[in-house]
Amino acid sequence: MKNKLVYMFLVCFLIISSCQRDRRVAKVSSSTQLSFVTEVNVKDITDTRATICWITNELSTSEVIYGTSAKSYTNTSGEDCTFVTTHTIRLVNLQPQTKYFFKVVSRTASGEKIESDEGVFMTKKQFVNHPPTTPTKPFGPNVGAKNYPAEFYTSAIDPDGDLVRFIFDWGDGQTTTTEYVYSGDLIVSSHSWQEPGTYRIKVKAEDDSGSISNESDSTEIVVFEKIDPPNIPDIPAGPSVGFKGVSYSFFTITDEPNNYKIKYVFDWGDNTITETQFFEPRKIIYAQHKWDVTGEYYVKVKAVNVYGISSSWSIPAMIRVTYFGQIIQYGFEKGIDGWRIQNLAGNKGVTGIEWSEETARSGNRSMKVYVNLIPSSSDNTKGEVWIDMRYYPPDGFQDINFPMNMENKRIVCWIKAPPEAFGEETHANGVQIFVKDANWYSRYSEFTIIQPTNEWFKVTDVVNKETPYRGFCDNNFDPKKVQVLGIKIGLGEQSQTPYQGYIYVDDIYFLEE
């Protein structure tokens, strides 16, 4: 019995001691629910500010008491009487590089006070914000017209790397404040003046901490009652299709009513522009550009006179930029201009060509080639059609200087023929692709048997210096200087069956190998 009493006494003593020890952090309410503080955290510490967060298990108010000595809390954030369980208090006007001691305090709706243990944090060293450098002198036209906007450029460096915005003073009592940009970035702002006169334009820079630079040197603009802008340039003339990474030229022309010199600004549709030098009006000019990403781009151009007065943008021209091999070089949709038949001795088996809408592999048109192949004839066992690409460049290559480097490029051509064009089963007729270089040395592809199915079939060749199987290549042929492309049709070796009829040619294109 005595041992049992001793055991009960020890248990009560431990419970009372535990309650005494935790009295500062938590209390037991009349409903016996234990109220407590958890996850006390200090964040966003600067030289003068700090944010303190904590959580309570009951809805309660928020307050932080703090001071610069342990257990001496001479300052308070003031009590936020909103009842929450997630608490945030921001301390401001702190001293830089100073150690602070604090407690968080919350009160429940019943008036119960909950406190944390003492915490500590250190503010950072005082930050000195430096203003941006003086902006560059605003750059823009020195002449303008009333109610006509003029653009001016400037930039500034912020020593602390802060974002920077600019305040333009237009000299007429008006100012413009730009958006924030990165330190060192060029910024543009425009303004129009309501009255003729001479105006001085200045600019200041302001960082995102509020520090303002000195004022820039001024730029003067003389605003007249009216200066007529240049006429709108013609729609840029250039290719409608092209290859990624290949430069293409676009041409335009316009007039200037005052006969001032003008320059042209080309917008290539890929966030890049090209400005030409100044030219006399009514002179055809061009600019070149290449696109590094495939897609459809709209090219437009405007003219700017020597006083900075610009026309409106032209009607845009569209170019579709794609990968090499995704454009049909000769599709015959627009005609067969430039294609001719070979009429040399020993090579007269092709008798004519025609632009045909009878069949097509794609689109609506193809080239119909009439043939008259005669066994044992000195002239008509074979025939050719060909085109000189220097004068009739393939689609996508209008700006390429020929002869062209075709080394290791694959040429694909599609052929369709009636069943009788096949010839003898053991000596079938066939088709070859051929190319010629700048010195007229030749390469002929493998002899591809004509398919007797009246369906489109493919003839192909990779251009190099090797002699193809059942083909031909001159020893001096240069695949880097190709200028002629052609199709050859011939009787099978030892064939005794003539063929007088036709074949169709369509969709000739080049592929990277």
HEC secondary structure over 395-429: CCCCCCCCCECCCCEEEEEEEECCHHHHECCCCEC
* Per-residue pLDDT, 396: 67
Q: Taken in order 360, 362, 363, 368, is the CA torsion positive or negative?
A: negative
For residue 250, give Cα distances in angstroms to 134, 178, 268, 284, 411: 40, 34, 10, 10, 28
Could you tell me which CATH class the domain 143-224 is placed in? mainly beta
> CB–CB of 252/274 below 8 Å?
no
* Per-residue pLDDT, 197: 94
* Per-residue pLDDT, 1: 46
* Per-residue pLDDT, 18: 36
**Which is nearest to 232 in space by CA: 293, 316, 119, 153?**
316
Q: Where are the domains of the chain?
A: 24-122, 143-224, 241-322, 340-512
List the beta bridge partners of residue 299: 317
From CA 70, how far away is CA 122, in angstroms rounded? 13
Q: Do 24-122 and 241-322 come out as alike in CATH topology? A: yes
Instruction: Render pLDDT for 440-492 as a digit per residue (tens, 0 to 9).
Output: 999 999 999 999 889 999 999 999 999 999 999 999 999 999 999 999 999 99
Exposed, middle or buried by CB within 10 Å (0-12, 13-18, 19+), for 435?
A: buried
> CB–CB of 122/42 below 8 Å?
no
In 3-state terms, what secondary structure has residue 190? strand
* Per-residue pLDDT, 12: 41
From CA 239, how far away is CA 399, in angstroms rounded? 9
What are the φ and ψ backbone dihedral angles of 255, each rounded to 5 degrees? -115, 165
The CA radius of gyration of the chain, in Å to the nearest whole number, is: 42
In 3-state terms, what secondary structure has residue 253? coil
Order of all β-strands in the sheet with 175-177: 143-145, 219-224, 197-207, 164-169, 175-177
Instruction: Render pLDDT for 16-47 as a digit per residue (tens, 0 to 9).
Output: 343 333 333 444 333 446 778 999 999 989 88
> CB–CB of 213/132 below 8 Å?
yes
> CB–CB of 80/4 below 8 Å?
no
CATH of region 24-122: 2.60.40.10
* Per-residue pLDDT, 146: 87
Q: Kindly give the pairing relationship between strand 219-224 and strand 143-145.
A: parallel
pTM score of the predicted model:
0.44
Fold type of domain 340-512:
Jelly Rolls (2.60.120)
* Per-residue pLDDT, 56: 93
Amino acid at 240: S
Residues 6+ apart with CB under 8 A from 2: none
* Residue appearing with tokens 């009652």: 225
> CB–CB of 110/19 below 8 Å?
no
Instruction: Render pLDDT for 430-448 as a digit per residue (tens, 0 to 9).
Output: 999 999 999 999 999 999 9
* Per-residue pLDDT, 307: 78
Residues of the chain predicted below pLDDT 70: 1-33, 324-328, 396-400, 513
From CA 106, how far away is CA 111, in angstroms rounded? 9
Q: Kindly give the pairing relationship between strand 99-107 and strand 113-115.
A: antiparallel
For residue 64, give Cα distances in angstroms to 53, 69, 88, 432, 438: 10, 15, 10, 90, 88
Percent share of the chain, pLDDT over 90: 68
DSSP per position, 438-472: TT--EEE---EEPPTTSS-EEEEEE-SSSPPTT-E
From CA 242, how far away is CA 317, in angstroms rounded? 13
From CA 443, how far away is CA 466, in angstroms rounded? 9
Q: How far is CA 342 from the centre of its chain?
A: 47
From CA 282, how far away is CA 156, in angstroms rounded? 39
> CB–CB of 238/317 below 8 Å?
yes
HSE-CB of 67 using CA atoms within 13 angstroms: 8
Could you tell me which CATH class the domain 241-322 is placed in? mainly beta
Residues 6+ apart with CB under 8 A from 137: 154, 216, 217, 218, 219
**Which is nearest to 152 in space by CA: 163, 165, 168, 164?**
168
